[in-house]
Structure formats: structure tokens, C-alpha cells
Homo-oligomer: A and B are copies of this chain.
Amino acid sequence: MRKMRVALEIEIPSDVHEIERVVELVQKECRQLKIEPEKCSLNVPVALTEALSNAILRGNREDASKYVRVRASVSKAGDMLVVDVTDEGAGFDLPASTLNCTTPENLEREDGRGLYLMQCLVDRVEQFVDGGNTVRLTVQRG
């Protein structure tokens, strides 16, 4: 018989100042799920901050009437934390938009490090459109 599963759902207006509180709630969830300390303090918060700021600035273009939804849950098998960030935008091409920001010509750019960092920090990054554009971050537990 499968065990109890808990998911946290958070909805915020398109305002970058809301990001920190969302990250705090998901961080708390990470710690309760006994995910490695470094993933709780660095990988998840930074990857989620990137996904949220892209959703607010790129997906919703800071339109105050649009919302961003975050859903943090554990996979059915119980071995993964899955965080979905959904905006009201039309979606984008994840592989084509991911820049290698470590090459000499990109190193001194001010922007373009978000998707790259997400890829580095979590085990899987996926993007799909399904009633809104969703970026899914998957992190191995333990």
C-alpha cells in the first residue's frame, strides 16, 4: 500500500519581491523531507529563484493581473522532490534558450545565467505547456 503524500501549492502575483517567501516555504519543505543540507541551502533555493524570476519577468512580463503557481510534491516512488513553476505565458524552447555562460565570450555578460544554473543545480529541468507554461525541477532525495 502506498504511503501518505503531501504537496504544497503556492500562488503569487507577478512581483519579484514575492520570490523570497516562496523559496523559504519550499526550503522548509525540503528540510522536512530530509533532503541533503546543501541542496536545501543552495541548489533548490537558487534553481527555484531562477524559475520564479523567469516566470514573473519573461512568462508573465510582470503583468499584475497574472499569477505564478508553484507546486512542490514528492514523486510517487518517494525518491524525488518535484517542483513545478507555472506562469501564464506562451512557453519557450528550453534547450534553445539555455546559454553556456562559462565560455570566454559569455563570461562577462550580465544576463543569461538563469537556465544554465538551473541545469547545474538540479537533477532534471523540463519545460512543457499545459494550461500555462510549466518549468519542472526534479531533485533526487538523499
> Chain A interface (Cβ within 8 Å of chain B)?
1-13, 15, 18, 21-22, 25, 64, 67, 73
Contact = CB atoms under 8 A, between A and B. Distances in A.
Contacts of A64: 1
A94 to B, nearest CB: 26
Contacts of A22: 4
A25 B10 contact: no
A17 to B, nearest CB: 11
A11 B78 CA distance: 13
A11 B75 CA distance: 12
B10 A9 contact: no
Contacts of A11: 4-7
Contact of A13 (B2, B9, B12): B2
Contact of A4 (B6, B21, B73): B21
A9 B12 contact: no
A142 B68 CA distance: 28
A13 to B, nearest CB: 5
A6 B1 contact: no
Nearest to A14: B1
Contacts of A7: 8-11
- Which of A9, A10, A21 has its CB near the most chain B CB atoms (within 10 A)? A9
B8 A8 contact: yes
